[in-house]
């Protein structure tokens, strides 16, 4: 438990222990003057305290629309008026595709070569080919991959998933094959 104490500089300070001023000491004229001086310093730094007219009060017995009066309703303006939050339909599904930009060892000419998945394969109308599925066997998407020599090829999502899963251990760490030479004895 802590208390927020307002300093003369107008900044709140957090304290875990505070002591109140006893009423008999608070009634002393000297302390009354110190309190008035403190209130004036705060008013100069932060402005006058809120008045009863500026605080909207709800009458629980009356029916109302749960909104503050128009003259008290806050106005919100975006920091960058020209920018706006894109609609969900404006997002490109490929931006969140877990395979795109992945590097995987794929079969090519009888050996495994590291390739990078660069995009989904599209039909003549520009629509992505295939449908995603949580089960990699039922995933029918086609991807375009590029090999280090610049050659591109098409691979299905289930082949890519099979190759990815074969290259990682149970904890998801990639297994790298190193050239091992036998040491002379």
Order across the sheet with 103-108: list the strands.
103-108, 111-120, 142-146, 152-156
β-sheet bridge partners, residue 4 = 14
pTM higher than 0.75: no
| C-alpha span between 152 and 119 (Å, rounded) | 11
In this prediction, residue 134 carries a pLDDT of 81
Report yes or no: 54 and 69 within 8 Å, Cβ to Cβ: no
Please report the beta strands in 77-151, taking only residues with DSSP state E, as ranges in sequence order.
103-108, 111-120, 142-146
Per-residue pLDDT 10s for the chain (185 aa) are: 788 888 887 788 888 888 888 889 989 999 999 989 988 888 888 777 766 666 666 566 666 555 555 655 556 566 666 666 666 555 555 557 888 888 888 888 888 889 999 988 988 888 889 988 888 788 899 999 999 888 999 999 988 888 888 877 777 666 655 443 444 44
CATH code 2.30.30 region(s) in the chain: 91-166
The CATH number of 91-166 is 2.30.30
Write down the residue that tokens 């090829």 correspond to: 153
Tell me the two tokens of residue 75: 């106005």
Is residue 147 a contact partner of residue 113, using CB atoms and an 8 Å limit?
A: yes
């Amino acid at each position: 438990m802590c208390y927020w104490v307002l300093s003369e500089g107008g900044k709140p300070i957090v304290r875990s222990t505070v002591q109140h001023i006893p009423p008999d000491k608070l009634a002393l004229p000297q302390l009354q003057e110190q309190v008035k001086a403190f209130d004036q310093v705060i008013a100069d730094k932060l402005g006058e305290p809120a008045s009863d007219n500026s605080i909207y009060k709800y009458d629980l017995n009356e029916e109302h629309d749960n909104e503050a009066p128009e003259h008290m309703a806050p106005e919100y303006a975006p920091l960058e008026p020209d920018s706006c939050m894109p609609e969900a339909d404006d997002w490109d599904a490929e931006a969140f595709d877990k395979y795109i930009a992945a590097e995987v060892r794929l079969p090519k000419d009888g050996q495994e070569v590291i390739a990078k998945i660069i995009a989904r394969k599209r039909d003549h109308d520009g629509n992505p080919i295939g449908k995603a599925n949580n089960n990699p066997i039922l995933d029918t998407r086609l991807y375009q991959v590029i090999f280090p020599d610049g050659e591109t090829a098409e691979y299905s999502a289930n082949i890519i998933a099979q190759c990815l899963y074969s290259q990682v251990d149970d904890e998801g760490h990639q297994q790298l094959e190193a050239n091992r030479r036998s040491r002379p004895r």
